[in-house]
Amino acid sequence: MENQKFTIAQDGVDPNKVPKRKLYTGAEIPGIGLGTFGSDRFSAEDIANAVKGAISVGYRHIDCASVYGNEDLIGDALQEVMAGGMKREELWISSKLWNDMHGPGDVLISVVKTLKDLKLDYLDMYFVHWPFPNYHAPGVSVDSRDPDAVPYIHEKYMKTWRQMEKLVELGLVRHIGTSNMTIPKLKLLLRDAVIKPACNQMELHPHFQQPELFKFVVDNGIVPIGFSPIGSPTRPDRDVTPEDTVDIEDPVIVKIAKRLNVHPAVVCVKWAVQRGQVPIPFSIYRNEYLSNIQSTFTDPITDEEMEEIAGIDQNCRLIKGQVFLWERASGWEDLWDLDGEVKTWD
Ligand SMILES: NC(=O)c1ccc[n+]([C@@H]2O[C@H](COP(=O)([O-])OP(=O)(O)OC[C@H]3O[C@@H](n4cnc5c(N)ncnc54)[C@H](OP(=O)(O)O)[C@@H]3O)[C@@H](O)[C@H]2O)c1
């Protein structure tokens, strides 16, 4: 990592211009964050450097996860940023509990490790990354099934959630949230939670708009955080299937990009912000993450264009979760409650 002193970039954006979203607690989350999943393609050093660069151009929200394997280097970057004068409370740092840490006592161990790596004494948001305790070894074949993998079991999820609630009580995390959930699972959680999720992280891009889940989340006072907002063009090979469509090649997105003289990726980010979700686009390239944050408050997409984009949804889920399937599951669709209810398996 370059070891230059952290400074605010002259050509960056004023973070006060970036839209914010209010959570039910009254806290405000910056309306765009930097993703930090390197998809096995980008090194931890490059990503940590991007975190520093992104904060220098105006980002105040960083989306981390223990499974991304780079929180220690991101922690070094955050130290440099704060040594350069940034106050901790100006930043919004999220992380996520990985699937192999859902067991009794594991959640506290996991958050403490993340806090140690990030060199922080609290997180703004801690998500349960997936609602399954199913673990797969790095690099495992997409078709393999772990013999210990299980379907969603609400009682077990609630035991994990109780541990998440405890972290709020302990002051280690300010908010807790869900990720990769469905309406039926969220209904059960909202029925049983003492501390409700403040955000739900979900796949959201023009070809995968999830309108029902989006509405459900918003109607229940939960802020949607949109992952893979550009359609994850650099996602790992294991997450690519022949049926997948490409958002940044969609003629409607390309047409709007030409009108605005920006890359189609920027239109995806702009659409996300205008629709009301918080996108967390990933990039290690300064020109890309800078144009992504600039797009949040400049040259809006017109109402007609927003309608056109609403019409190009392909219901094309890219992050299908195949590696988390249990032996009796028939396919990745089983993870997503497509029949409108959590299936009982016994
Ligand atoms: N909760 C979960 O389960 C979950 C799952 C997936 C992701 N996430 C989070 O969401 C973040 C973002 O998702 P993602 O990484 O899958 O995909 P993404 O943000 O949709 O796509 C990232 C790629 O888009 C390209 N890009 C970004 N900005 C661009 C610009 N202005 N112009 C041109 N190309 C641009 C870059 O590719 P090039 O290198 O080709 O330029 C970059 O590698 C992750 O990093 C992670 O933090 C969470």
Would residue 76 count as lying in a domain? yes
**Among 337, 334, 338, 332, which residue's Cα sits nearest to residue 320?**
332
**Among 208, 211, 228, 216, which residue's Cα sits nearest to residue 189?**
216
Q: Which positions are catalytic?
A: 68
pLDDT single digits (tens) 140-184 = 787 888 889 999 999 999 999 999 999 999 999 999 999 999 999
In the chain, DSSP finds a helix count (H) and a strand count (E) of 10, 10
Ligand 1 site, residue 63, Cβ cutoff 6 A? yes
Percentage of the chain beyond pLDDT 90 is 91
Tell which one of 59, 202, 282 to mutate to probe ligand 1, the residue whose CB is within 8 A of the most ligand atoms.
282
**Residue 346 pLDDT > 80, yes or no?**
no
Would residue 302 count as lying in a domain? yes
The CATH number given to whatever domain includes residue 43 is 3.20.20.100
Domain limits for position 252? 15-336
pLDDT value at position 1?
A: 47
Question: What's the whole-number mean pLDDT along residues 71-79?
Answer: 98
Domain count along the chain: 1
Would residue 263 count as lying in a domain? yes
Would residue 345 count as lying in a domain? no
Residue nearest to atom 34 of ligand 1 (CA): 265
Ligand 1 site, residue 160, Cβ cutoff 6 A? no
Would residue 346 count as lying in a domain? no
Would residue 5 count as lying in a domain? no
**Among 210, 213, 224, which residue's Cα sits nearest to residue 177?**
224
**Residue 62 pLDDT > 60, yes or no?**
yes
pLDDT single digits (tens) 101-129 = 999 999 999 999 999 999 999 999 999 99
> Mean pLDDT for the chain?
96
Would residue 10 count as lying in a domain? no
Distance in angstroms (rounded) separating the CA atoms of residues 332 and 323: 9
Residue nearest to atom 36 of ligand 1 (CA): 283
Cα of 345 from ligand 1 centre, angstroms: 34
The closest-lying atom of ligand 1 relative to the alpha carbon of residue 202 is: 1
Would residue 319 count as lying in a domain? yes
Cα of 231 from ligand 1 centre, angstroms: 7
Residues 331, 241, 45, 14, CA torsion sign:
negative
